[in-house]
Amino acid sequence: MGRLYEKVAIITGSGAGIGKEIARTYAKEGAKVVIADFAEEAMNETVKELTEAGHEAYGVQVNVADNEQVEKMINESIEKYGRVDILVNNAGVGDNMQAAANVEDNTWNRVLDINLSGVMYGMRKIIPHFQENGGGTIVNMSSITGLTGGRGGLAYTAVKHAVVGMTKNVASQYGSENIRCNAIAPGSIETGFALPLKILLSRLRFCSPA
């Protein structure tokens, strides 16, 4: 029996990259996984892969930057499986490494809406459900950029630090109610997210006069 046998987990941004790997791992450990992603095709492919492998998976298309859609994602998951035990707030986008002097308003707003408000919307909606059920687990995706100052652009660095702060706040506020809240802070991982960044950095090095 897997370590997550019969647990229900929503994983945002699980149509690709790190989220998809989390979904595969949770499913192998016996969890029923909700594949929640903005990209419908990637979402459907992940659901297909997991169900064909004999796992339980259900797809919900969501833009985590939209509170109504996040609420719908959680309601639909509870309707489908009767409960939710784990919420992984993984969906996120980059900021093209825009430094402070070059921050574009649309990039700033997009990164805050998806990477920060999206995490808050998910936690705000799931916590009362966890309280009713006697507990639950939240996993928020930060980054090494959330712990250091020099690994991303301004907006991405700001939100990943904020995710660490929100995680500590929720852990301390709700820990006594059996609600755990932790963050993950990975270094660079080659996904669709990191690849353009890698190309950008290699071009920067190539152009460097040094």
Ligand X SMILES: NC(=O)c1ccc[n+]([C@@H]2O[C@H](COP(=O)([O-])OP(=O)(O)OC[C@H]3O[C@@H](n4cnc5c(N)ncnc54)[C@H](O)[C@@H]3O)[C@@H](O)[C@H]2O)c1
Q: Which is nearer to ligand X, 13 or 136 (CB)?
A: 13
Minimal distance, residue 42 CB to ligand X, in Å? 5
Minimal distance, residue 41 CB to ligand X, in Å? 10
In angstroms, rounded to a whole number, what is the distance separating the alpha carbons of residues 198 and 204?
10
Q: What is the residue-wise DSSP string for 4-52? A: TTT-EEEEETTTSHHHHHHHHHHHHTT-EEEEEES-HHHHHHHHHHHHH
Q: Which is nearer to ligand X, 148 or 178 (CB)?
A: 148
126 with 34: CB under 8 angstroms?
no
Residues with a catalytic annotation lie at 156
Binding residues for ligand X (CB under 6 A): 12-13, 15-19, 37-39, 42, 62-65, 90-93, 114, 141, 143, 186, 188-189, 191-194
Which uninterrupted H or E stretch holds 201? helix 194-207
Minimal distance, residue 14 CB to ligand X, in Å? 7
114 with 92: CB under 8 angstroms?
yes
Q: Which residues contact 99 (CB under 8 A, 6 or more apart)?
A: 153, 154
Q: Which is nearer to ligand X, 187 or 209 (CB)?
A: 187
29 with 35: CB under 8 angstroms?
no
Minimal distance, residue 132 CB to ligand X, in Å? 26
Q: Which is nearer to ligand X, 59 or 92 (CB)?
A: 92
